[in-house]
Chains A and B, each alone.
Chain A
Amino acid sequence: MWKYILKRLLLLIFTLFLVVTATFFLMQIMPGTPFTNPKLTPEAIAQLKSTYGLDLPLWQQYLNYLIGAAHGDFGISFQYQNQPVSMLIGQRLPISAQLGAQALVVGVIAGLFMGAASARNKNNKIDGTLGIISTLGISIPSFILGIILVYLFGFKWPLFPVSGWGDSFSQTILPTLALAMSPAAITTRFVRSEMIESLSSDYVQLAKAKGLSAKEVVNQHAYRNSMIPVLTLIGPMAAGLLTGSTLIEQIFSIPGIGQQFVLSIPSKDFPVIMGTTIVYSAMLMVMILITDILTAIIDPRVRLQ
């Protein structure tokens, strides 16, 4: 087990290195410099480039970046004057993480209930309604839902604030709901099919034969067993939420890392683009690793190699 985790961690570092390298060189293809103000004279641009070390040969810039990154120094943002990238990300990541975590908790809990309700009422009206809701949840992008929520609960019935972050908890409700819809829908469908399967499985038949009540059968046996595999879904869903919150952050004016990432690209803020990409990919890989380990722990049939 430990050997497996160690191996995966080493692989993770190598993958990160590949991501850094690919991003670094891809960025060089982007046209222009971070200094796009047409009023800057060529001399001024040359001066700025040398201050930021952008006049060095490419391999040297690359090497400097790698050495810096290995020491946790991701450079200084061009767009946010003065601010180190690690500080920018450090301030914004917790905001996105909180949003993502809230959405995940709300989504998964709602999904567990809806999935179970759906399975136990298989093929009747409740199942049908929940089926429609979960299909919509999967197919409607979160940013569309976000705009609908803003319209309904921000303006039609102004119950919740529609922009900002950090002043009151109420600000987090609409973006959380918008983001929670997709995990809720995924969990619903997953739990429903798992539970239908376990309801018709031998051990449930046996439990019924033992004379347990329907409630006990479901709660003690079917439900618990069909909930466990949901754990394996949480990894990819969490990664999806983190990267998917970009547009939600834009709609609700939330100063998260997604918003930062989007703004840094047109302004050619190289250090921020690099730093954010590294953080995103590291998180995605860690999530996948955690999912793999969890799967192995939960289901001993999965062999670790």
Chain B
Amino acid sequence: MDTWKKVAIGAAAVVVVGGGTRAAGLWGGSSSGSNKNLSFQLPTPIQTLDISKNTDTYSGTIIGNSGSNLMRVDAKGKAKLELAKSVKVSDDGLKYTVVLKNGLKWSDGSKLTAQDFVYSWQRIVDPKTASQYAYLASGVKNADKIAAGKADVDTLGVTAKGNTITFDLERPLPQFEYLLTFSNFMPQKESFVTKEGKKYATTAATSLYSGPYKVEGWNGTNNTFKLIKNDNYWDAKNIKTKQIDVQVVQKPETAVQLYKQGKIDRVSIANTPELYKANKNNKDVTKALEATTAYLQYNQTGKNKFLANAKIREALNLATNRKELTDQVTAGISTPATGLAPQGLAKTDSGEDLAKFVAPGYKFDPKKAATLFQEGLKEVGETKATFTVTSDADSPAAKSTLDYLQGSWEKALPGLKINQKFVPFSQRIKDSQTQNFDIVVSLWGGDYPEGSTYYDIFKTDASNNNGQFKNAAYDAAVNKAESTDALKESARDNDYKVAEAALLKDSNFNPLYFRSGYSLQNPKVTGIILNTTGLNQDWKLAVKK
């Protein structure tokens, strides 16, 4: 029996030593106790701190909070001056002149200059950098040519003289102010980037910071690190939080438990309907909009004669009960869609939500739908129709979305049969782009808080107009918004309203829902700015009481 004794003694020793050292606080760990450090969680590891190359949301959160740009989005969603002292735009909207604040510094104390902005803009469009976000600079003089390797980076329409940066545009860009807030266009110091070479921005130590915090302790792989107040930041006196602890917790359920133990200050509960249902009555629940629209695209190339028929498309739109779909598919987390541009994307000139202002009035009317469907079938000379709806298998809502559509459509429209088709995400993108679908479920997230990030999708011949429809009224309205009305906000709002109405009239697409999120947030924490585009969580002014 002595083996048993050994095991028992060994086990007891482990418990005693373990418990003892733990009680004595020798294990480190994450209990933050009574200090005022903030503690946040990311659902995936960060990939890079490279300002030009990053495309990942959560890496962007860290880059955006440790960097700053000419402007920064405030709590009301408007771009306000940050590193810039002034931003002036010419009457034709083709020239922006920006003067920098005095005495700006990098986190290492060196001088931050106008040239650092020029370099950053050149770096992102340079094909050698291979940034997937180079397209964001499109519209700045020569940006597209440089990105395509047809012009030298020096010819880019971003130049510096002393303290002043000049942006020359090829066409007016209504969203340009917001580009000046973007993390991908934050300044970078050329000598630093060159010196670090291949190691640049792959760890906290090989990055340089211009923002409210510096990253510390990220070695390129570890899942816990810190943001420390940057004393060289121009607005350092208003940064009240000295340290933010960041940890990656990949299992949403684990993250919620850590929140309940007081170890993290904010956590999403919208990952699955089950998690949301289990926590929606918690007193700390806060809602966050996402500026993502889920919609159906109809193949209107003629490949499918039924979907080329406007009446059949209208019937499908009218047979879609968006409220019920949203409730069933997302447990009510998301909001039924009212158009293409989602809730929370942008505000109109008068401060109203753009989505609300432009909503053309999508209706649920199964009776009218059935009649139109029969008329449509007659017009194409058939008595029944079969469509395949494609979705990607990667998203948890995909199956329930297709089940709901199949069930409700087949019930409302006699003679219709729906097949479901699930493919991997990248295959769905490929099928969409090659018109290899009847109806496809698409998701679109905005890049900046301005309508064109959505309305560009459905222009004739736009690469994301996967249904390949042509809607002249829509094209005219969107082109007007982006040219003559580019700097006239209220006229632009009206153009977008006309564009939405044109889409509804021809039933060119079918909006399903606007994705939203819910989070639990420590009530003692204030000052987090949530953006639906760009920097998703701005911690600059966040504090814990």
Contacts and interface: CB of A to CB of B under 8 A. Distances in A.
Contact of B222 (A82, A113, A161, A255): A255
Given A39-B135, A41-B463, A113-B3, A51 B430 contact: no
A155 B222 contact: no
B27 A170 contact: yes
A255 B223 contact: yes
A259 B132 CA distance: 24
B223 A44 contact: no
B424 interface: yes
Interface string A147-177: 0001000110011011111111110000000
Interface residues of B, number: 63
A244 interface: no
Contacts of A64: none
B220 interface: yes
Interface of B is mostly: loop
Nearest to A47: B127
Contacts of B148: 43, 47
B426 A31 contact: yes
A32 B135 contact: no
A273 interface: no
Contact of B247 (A88, A164, A250): A164
B251 A253 contact: yes
Contacts of A87: 202, 220
Interface string B125-167: 0011010101100000000100111000000000000000000
B132 A163 contact: no
Nearest to A116: B3
A40 to B, nearest CB: 6
A38 interface: yes
A50 to B, nearest CB: 8
Contact of A83 (B6, B30, B202): B202
Interface in A62-88: 79-84, 87-88
Contacts of B426: 30-33, 36, 266, 268
B254 A150 contact: yes
B219 interface: yes
Contacts of A47: 127, 130, 147-149
A30 B27 CA distance: 45
Contact of B221 (A95, A168, A266): A95
A88 B202 CA distance: 10
A159 B22 contact: yes
A196 to B, nearest CB: 15
B425 interface: yes
Given A82-B200, A169-B27, A36 B221 contact: no
B48 A155 contact: no
Nearest to A109: B10
A117 B27 contact: no
Contacts of A161: 29-30
A116 B1 CA distance: 10
Given A36-B429, A47-B147, A168-B29, A82 B198 contact: yes
A167 B29 contact: yes
A13 B535 CA distance: 48
A299 B40 CA distance: 56
B430 A39 contact: no
B54 interface: yes
Contacts of B47: 79-81
Interface string A127-164: 00000000000000000000000100011001101111
Interface string A16-54: 000000000000001111011111111110011011100
B202 A82 contact: yes
A50 B148 CA distance: 10
Contacts of B30: 161, 164, 167
A221 interface: no
A253 B27 CA distance: 18
A263 B221 CA distance: 13
Interface string B417-445: 00000011111011011000000000010
A255 B202 contact: no
B365 interface: no
B222 A44 contact: no
B424 A31 contact: yes
Contacts, number: 164
A88 B47 CA distance: 11
Given A91-B220, A158-B261, A51 B128 contact: yes
B352 interface: no
A138 B307 CA distance: 55
B173 to A, nearest CB: 16
Interface in A254-300: 254-255, 259, 263, 266, 268
A251 interface: yes
B324 to A, nearest CB: 28
B55 interface: yes
A124 to B, nearest CB: 12
B224 A166 contact: yes
B464 interface: yes
Given A33-B426, A113-B6, A42 B201 contact: no
- Residue from the set B3, B247, B464 with the largest chain A CB neighbour count within 10 Å: B3
A36 B198 contact: no
B249 A253 contact: yes
Nearest to B53: A81
B394 interface: yes
Nearest to B261: A158
Contact of B464 (A39, A91, A92, A250): A39
A206 B411 CA distance: 84
A164 B248 contact: yes
A268 B147 CA distance: 23
Given A155-B257, A162-B254, A44 B134 contact: yes
A35 B132 contact: yes
A83 B50 CA distance: 11
A167 B224 contact: yes
Given A81-B47, A161-B29, A266-B424, A48 B135 contact: no
A163 B248 contact: yes
B250 interface: yes
A169 B18 CA distance: 11
Interface string B221-239: 1111000000000000000
A91 B201 CA distance: 16
B249 A163 contact: yes
Nearest to B248: A253
Contact of B223 (A114, A159, A162, A164): A164
A220 B130 CA distance: 67
Contacts of A255: 45, 221-223, 248
A170 B29 contact: yes
A36 B249 CA distance: 25
Contacts of A215: 2
B425 to A, nearest CB: 7
B29 A82 contact: no
A122 B523 CA distance: 60
Interface of A: 30-33, 35-44, 47-48, 50-52, 79-84, 87-88, 91-92, 95, 113-114, 116-117, 120, 126, 150, 154-155, 158-159, 161-170, 215, 250-251, 253-255, 259, 263, 266, 268
| 3 nearest CB pairs, A to B | A32-B426, A168-B28, A81-B53
7 contacts: A32-B425, A32-B427, A41-B135, A43-B147, A81-B50, A163-B250, A251-B254
